[in-house]
Structure 1
Amino acid sequence: MEALLENVSEVWTTAIKYGYTIRGAIEFGEIYWNENELIGPAFNNAYRLESEVSRISRVIVSSRLNRVLRNLANDHRSDITDHLIANFRKDVDGYVVVNPYILGHSDEERLSLAEKLRALAKNSPTSLVKEKYAHLISMLSEKERNAIGRSEL
């Protein structure tokens, strides 16, 4: 999970630096693959969450992965699980998401990413597209991590 979150952070940060952003979803469960295809219930649900629910730049955690995190937080309390849980937050619509606070490696870098997003929003062709950046800009500009609490999982 730590490696996954680090990769999400690097991809998201790099995308913003190059003038884009991402949205996605993380699921936990069965997948099947061969050299030509990747399929299975977990893959299908992650795709559904990304395409139908995410809508803005964020990475949603599926309800199944949320249960895994809750079990870790409650049944295996340690500094390691506390550190892992701190990478998530509850979003305004109730979904658990990857906390954008993990983007960048410092407050300075997060604020720089927020400025890059403000420039992207300013140059967006429509107000609807501009609005898609607002929530992420707000979270990157926060002074505190606003991580999820064990009781919120």
Structure 2
Amino acid sequence: MTNWLAGQKITAGGLNNDAGQWTAYTPTWTSSSGAAPSLGNGTLDGEYSLNGSTCTVRIALAGGSTTTWGGGQHRFALPFTAASLANANFGYIGSALGSDLGTAYYPGICRIFGAGTFVMLISPTTATGSAPAEWNATRPFTWGSGDHLSLEITYKPA
């Protein structure tokens, strides 16, 4: 992602990107290890907005009766690779919310490492009160049909 350059042609797509239009995309849902998650009859929705040199992403996932939640930490593909940061341990940070249907809400954050291609979710607490960690099939609670998560994060594309 670059700024406008001298001699560059103005296009409708370029103007829409600079105007912050929302564009739908289907993020890929994977896990860091073990069995891969499977959406089954669940719903996965994503959209992004480019505004100048930033990209805001919103992702939502609702589990269905045939959704399986995988073996490792949940990861969602970004529409664009993130720009590198000054330190490999730095990251872009956003917000997340998990809902154990009819039971509780679990606030969290989401992060993208510099030069990253996916976003991960982290909870400050879990259903059992254990230490903060990335979300997976049993964190921050055991996911099932009707449970859902949402995240929003803004980052600089490469």
Which has the larger strand fraction? 2
TM over 0.5: no
TM-score normalised by L of structure 2: 0.23
Which has the larger helix fraction? 1
